[in-house]
Amino acid sequence: MLLPSILRTVVPLLAGWALTVLTGLGLHADSTAVAGGVTIAVAAAYYLAFRILERIGEKISVPWLATLAGLLLGYARPPRYEPTDDVGALIRASRQ
Instruction: Provide the number of structural domains found in the chain.
Output: 1
∠ CA 40-59-63 to the nearest 5 degrees? Answer: 85
H helices of 24-79, in order, are: 32-59, 63-72
Give the C-alpha separation, 57 to 72, whole Å: 14
Domain residues for 59?
3-94
pTM, to two decimals: 0.57
Give tens-digit pLDDT for 38-84: 777 888 888 888 888 988 998 999 999 989 988 888 888 877 766 66
CB atoms under 10 Å from CB of 20, counted, come to 20
Give the C-alpha separation, 14 to 46, whole Å: 10
